[in-house]
Amino acid sequence: MAELKSTSSIAAHNAPRTIRSTRHAIASGETSTAALADSYYATIAAEDPKIHAWLALSRERATAQAHRIDDLAKSGDLANADTLPLAGVPIGIKDVLAMQGAPATAGSKILENYRPPYDATTVAKLAAAGAVLLGKLNCDEFAMGSSNENSAYGPVHNPCALDRVPGGSSGGSAAAVAANMAVATLGTDTGGSIRQPASFCGVVGLLPTYGRVSRYGLIAFASSLDRVGPFTHTVEDAAILLGVLAGPDPMDATSSGAAVPDYAAALQAPVKGLRIGIPDEYFGEGLDPEVRAAVEKTADALRAAGCTLHKVSLPHTRYAVATYYVLATAEASSNLARFDGVRYGLRAEDASTLSAMYRRTRDQGFGKEVKRRILLGTYVLSAGYYDAYYRKAQQVRTLLTRDFLQAFTHVDAILTPTAPTPAFRLGEKTDDPLAMYLADIYTVTANLAGICGISVPCGNSKEGLPIGAQILGKHFDEATVLRVAHAVEQAHRDGQAQR
């Protein structure tokens, strides 16, 4: 239990602020943005040596923005709550997103010196909404992993228990929020990388529908699966951030023009009458009994709040991990072909021919897991194997999507565990990539189907480790997912208060 003390000391150091309370404190003059940013940098200096969530700090940019916001606050321009919804809110960015003035390594040696000359659309939107961007967050190399142990810059430690992984690939983003080193952060989710670390670190992590949020400026892993989304302390903060991030972008042809509802307002609607699906396939073998109990308790709480519970079937679930690891690696092998030592980052110096330079750069620059995936992906796309693996996986992807479309004809949202276990120990799965892949069982299907979802804290193990509940929703129905998550959050808080 000694390890858990670190959490309380962190929490005491800097009590969690929400977007609303931060914005209010600044607009009302209770604190200056500059002083608030300083206090977050002080927390980072004190706590991050233990956690290692941050790869780079962008103090100059943060200070310039803080002064701009402080000037607006002084002149009363922030009095209207609709102006700059994120005015002064300190936010961190996963290192796979481009942010002008900071490196973007994607957790890889091959991009060690890469400094993008522009902002990703999501980063630009946060800045335009008044956010103070603190810096860049550690992650698995090219977002490939479930534990953050594949980062070329070293692992992140879970703030709730320092000998445990924070989850991955957005481990730094989840840990930074959990340790109060940021009010919110951006992560990315290709097969669970927002929801699973959120679950392991006891914070909220939102997976928007494919196309809801622009991917421009995201270093691509698997383009048909990648999403950008927020980590926050509360469901309301996730709703506010989605409102800022969502919408069409001329720089991303896959971004959708669908209207962006007022997500924060949608939380006010009661969940009474909503139909919640419970899929048998997500409660089978391999599910930790404490996780099962916490999610079942969550189902009971939703019933008590007036929802109706319904058994649903997602019969192709057992093929999901295999399908995901064929398609994600195929896309990765293609996306990562651009890192060749010519245009960005690392270049091997000792090569006498162009092809030797390519080979040596890629050999020196990529880590073991990334190489494994490039090999797998190249194999499944190669002539002779394409039909057996890649095409077959595409067909199964359609079946997995149909499973959800069918289920959503009679339920409004689906409740599952986010991950089969609470956070595991650092080093526990590093020698067994298959065991690591299999732990993605509950998250990869939503990416394959293109639907939205969220992980929200719903309990704790006996050891005090956080447990997350996952709520999955229809394409572009984040409003319902957020509403249900809000009810889960309230039930969990009430439960904690009673203890």
List interacting residues with ligand GLN (CB under 6 A). Answer: 143-146, 169, 189-193, 221, 328, 440
DSSP 8-class letter at 97 = B
First to last CA, the chain: 18
Q: What is the CA radius of gyration of the chain?
A: 21
Residue 231, SS3?
strand
Residue of 6, 173, 193, 333 with catalytic role: 193
* Residue carrying structure tokens 């983003």: 173
Nearest distance from residue 329's CB to ligand GLN, in Å? 8
Residue 178's closest CA among 415, 4, 2, 419?
Answer: 4
Q: Can 94 be counted among the known catalytic residues?
A: yes
Q: Can 169 be counted among the known catalytic residues?
A: yes
Evaluate whether 374 touches 144 at the Cβ level (below 8 Å). no
Q: What angle do CA 190, 191, 194 make, to 5 degrees?
A: 75
Nearest distance from residue 149's CB to ligand GLN, in Å? 11
Nearest distance from residue 225's CB to ligand GLN, in Å? 8
**Closest chain position to ligand GLN (CB):** 193
Q: What is the rounded distance in angstroms from the CA atom of residue 153 to the CA atom of residue 107?
A: 6
Q: What is the rounded distance in angstroms from the CA atom of residue 428 to the CA atom of residue 148?
A: 12
Nearest distance from residue 304's CB to ligand GLN, in Å? 33
Residue 230, SS3?
strand
Residue of 58, 94, 333, 429 with catalytic role: 94
Q: Which is nearer to ligand GLN, 36 or 225 (CB)?
A: 225
Q: Which is nearer to ligand GLN, 105 or 298 (CB)?
A: 105
- The Cα-based distances of 268 to 80, 104, 239, 265 in angstroms read 21, 38, 11, 6
DSSP codes, 10-49:
HHHHS----HHHHHHHHHTTSS-HHHHHHHHHHHHHHHHH
Angle between helix 235-245 and helix 121-128 axes, rounded to 10 deg: 110
Q: Which is nearer to ligand GLN, 78 or 144 (CB)?
A: 144
DSSP codes, 121-142:
HHHHHHHHTT-EEEEEE--SGG
Residue of 58, 146, 147, 169 with catalytic role: 169
DSSP 8-class letter at 155 = P
Nearest distance from residue 427's CB to ligand GLN, in Å? 17
Q: Which is nearer to ligand GLN, 86 or 96 (CB)?
A: 96
Q: Which is nearer to ligand GLN, 69 or 320 (CB)?
A: 320
Q: Which is nearer to ligand GLN, 96 or 301 (CB)?
A: 96
Beta strands in 356-465 (DSSP E): 413-417, 452-460
B/e letters for 173-189, b = 16+ CB within 10 Å, e = fewer, are bbbbbbbbbbbbbbbbb
Nearest distance from residue 86's CB to ligand GLN, in Å? 25
Q: Which is nearer to ligand GLN, 226 or 236 (CB)?
A: 226
Nearest distance from residue 106's CB to ligand GLN, in Å? 11
Q: Can 371 be counted among the known catalytic residues?
A: no
Cβ neighbours of 128 (radius 10 Å): 12
What residues are labeled active site? Answer: 94, 169, 193
